[in-house]
Each structure stands twice: as C-alpha cells, then as structure tokens.
Structure 1
Amino acid sequence: MQISFSGKTALVTGAGSGIGEAIALELGRAGARVIVADLHPDTAAAVADRIVAAGGQALPGAGDVSDPAVVERLVAEAVVAGGRLDLLVNNAGISGPMAPLGEYPLEGWRQVMGVNLDAVFYGLRFAIPEMLKSGGGAIVNMASILGSVGFANAGAYVAAKHALLGLTRTAALEYAAKGIRVNAVGPAFIDTPLLANLPEGAKEALVAAHPVGRLGQPAEVAALTLFLLSDQAKFINGSYHLIDGGYCAQ
C-alpha cells in the first residue's frame, strides 16, 4: 500500500526524538512538508535536516507546547510554510514523577497535564480553524495503553491519557461533517529515549509484560500513524488504536 502526502503540510510535536522523530521522517519520505516541532531547537533542526537531506521538505519549530502561545505560533509557521495545514500529530509527552496519588508532587501533576493534555487541546484549538479553511484534514493524538488501563504510581500520566481520548472523540464528532478526522494511537512501551534512564531490571520487566516478548519500535507506531492520517483511512474517525504487542489483551 503506497501512501503519499504530496502537497500536504504536517505539524508534528515532540518530533525531536523517539516516536515523533519516526513519524516526522516517514511523513517527509511520503512527500509531506513537515514542521518538526520540539522543546529543544537543536533536535528539531537535526530531524528537519535529515528530512531535507533525504530529498524531503521540512522546517524546525521550537518551544514548550504547554504554552498556548507557542502552539499558536507553530500552527502559524506551518501555514506560512505550506500555505495550509493538512495534518497534525499531537505527539509531545512527558512521563512525569512516579509516586502514589496521596504523595504525588503538585508541580509534577501540573507539568504532566500541561504537556500531555493541555497541549493536545491547544493543538486542536489552533489547528482545526486552519484545516477548515482548506477543506479538512486529519489529526492523530498520541495516547498510550495507559489511556485504557491504570498503572500504579503514574496517576498524572494515566489521567492525562484517559482525558486525551475524550478530547479525541469529541473533536471527531464536532468536525466529521466538515472534513476533519481525529483519531488516537495507543502505544505500549516503546524503545525510545524516555526509557533510557530506567533502573536496573526495570526494562526487562517491561519487556516481560508484553506477550510478544519485546518492546515496540518507533517505526511501528509511525506506520500506524501515517495510515490513520492518510486517505486510506478516510472512514476511520474518533477511534483509539492500540499498538501494544498484546499488552491490553491480558
């Protein structure tokens, strides 16, 4: 199945590494003009340079997406670069502190909600009006398996991902008739830099929790995301797609 995004403009947040990087690179290979957004300007620029070096079109964008002004600016930069905005991947996320809810740090809660939930709303809020101007578009919100199950000591992350699914379904209902599709992807534990600093033995325990016996790869999440963004998925809207090696089947 050949997917092409030729002539389309895409904005991907959290695209400097891991899942976001893989999505941005694949969008570039498929012909999209990609705005590579990340908190860190150097990593955003490095990914954008890789897309351009491979013959694609990309520009870096930097800033903290928990700030609505930053997200508004990134959307505006995408529109200026491409003349329109067709595709949005709300991918930026942080894991946050690990603690029981009765001890959870208040600042940690605010930070997780700011990046994992508020930023998704800001993406929808500012991207949807631009998509409407050009007749529609497609949005993928990066959820998690923890949008459907709990996980001890990760209350803020779990709450944000559950709420993200509500935003996804509501946006899908509100804009389906106007040509905008909104879906969510729910990865299990993916082998990304987020897992680099796990204590000894923790990574092995995560691997064992997946029936397939391994962690997922960013490229696998990117493949599903690109399908959902593409016209091949034009009858898929308001849904939540697990990519979890059987984790939630247990």
Structure 2
Amino acid sequence: MNIAFSPCPNDTFVFHAWVHGLVPGAPVLDVTYADIDITNNWAANSEGPEVMKISYAALPWVLSEYRLLPCGGALGRGCGPLVLTSGRPAETSTPAMLSGKRVAVPSERSTAYLLFRLWAARHVPGGVGEIVVMPFHEIMPAVRDGSIDAGLVIHEARFTYPSYGLSLLTDLGSWWESDTGLPIPLGAIIARRTLDTTAITGWIQASVDYAWTHPQASQAYVMQHAQELSQEVAKSHIDLYVNEFTSDLGEDGYAAIEALLGRAAVEGLVPRFDLSLLR
C-alpha cells in the first residue's frame, strides 16, 4: 500500500509500527515522505498515494476521491499556528501592524493559512499585502533577515522561534479556541474511497496504540527523519500533536472540523461542499 506523510516527529511516531511491520495483518507500506503542501496538491489533483496526510483545509477539494479517516492526524488544543515578527515585542504590537505587509505562509491550502485568513479578516484593517508561500523551515530565517515582515509558522517553530530573535504577534490556536471552544484541526489522514477504509482505520489505530505502549521503540526512526531537531524538541513535538484525537476524532474532533470548514465556506475561502462527507 502506498502512503505519504511528513517526516515530522508526530507522523513518524504514529506510523512507526505499521511501517516496520509491527501491526498484525497490515499490508507492507511503500512510504513517501513529503511536506504537507506537497500532499495537499497531490490530493487535489488525484495524483497522490492511496493513503496520505493532508491539511484539513484541503479536504473540500478532495472528498469526492478520498475519505477522511477518524484517526492518525493532528488535532488538539494549545498547538495552533503562530504569527511571528522580528525584534522584541512592544506594547504597541497589534494585528493592525500587518496591514499591507508581506507575510510568509507554509502553504496556500494549509489549515494554518486558513486560520490566518479567518483571523486577519477580523483583525487586520484593509488586509495584509503580499502573501509569500515558502517551505516552513525557511520562514523564520526570512522574518529574522527582514525579507518578510511576518511569518506564519507551525510544528516545532512553537519551541524554537525565540532562538531566531522573533516575537509572537498572535497564537491562532488560542484565538480559535477562545472563539469556538473547540480544538484546532491541523492535519488529516485520508484514504481513497475505493479502499477498505475500515481496515485501514484499524491498522492506524493499532500503530498509534503500539507507539503509546512502546514510546522508545520509534526513537531512532523519529530522529532519522527529524530534520536536525534535538531529541528534546522532537519529544515536545510528539507530546503536543499526538493525543486522544490521534486515536479517534470523536464528536469534539468532528465538530471542530465542521466549524472550521463551515466558516471557511461561508467566507468563500474554500468551495462549498456537503459537510456529511466528512463522516
């Protein structure tokens, strides 16, 4: 079976057992490691593997071909994207400072960017200026060096941005949670509708259970793909993004996804679609 997910610690932690043949009855995996902006485009063009990790924000474009699986993804609290600027924070730093400015984002179809657009529509008078898409690991250096006015960052940047001399303008996850009371939907696992998605769900949940039961077993695999992260940062990444929603979205998880994509559809940020396709 072909699968694509990112080399980030949460994904390698979740899929370690299945990739290494430790899930009874599960087929052998042919793995492609790809950042989420790449898999978002694959899914939208129906060119992707049978199973893959994409942004929740990309779901409206792919639900005719792929089914959302209720496990394996990233959704939680206290783990949202950040908007960063250079220099020390000032009392006068407000969202209005982004008006007409250049902002770097990791993908045009990322959940991070969708949250940013929903937030900016309320808080940035006149809107931002230019949106520049770049690989997420290039964003903080670009903000630090002044080629970009602000950056939208995800993943381990939550832990490392102070080392770049950057300041937090806003935490979009905190905004979303205070506005809705719901967790933040970030990354989804999808599978082609022609497959036995019930079986795939069971194999992923078994892989998650193995990861939790044997937390040290995946350490070498995680660090092999951790893009030069320290072991401490990789563990913090896993602790933040792998939680009860990784095993089962549950009603709160589905409510969060429906709220995000429902709002976005009303605002014209994603195509309108039948929300029942999410379940």
Do Structure 1 and Structure 2 share a fold, with TM-score over 0.5? Answer: no
TM-score, normalised to structure 2, is 0.29
**Which has a greater percent of helix?**
1
Q: Select the structure of larger CA radius of gyration.
A: 2
TM-score, normalised to structure 1, is 0.32
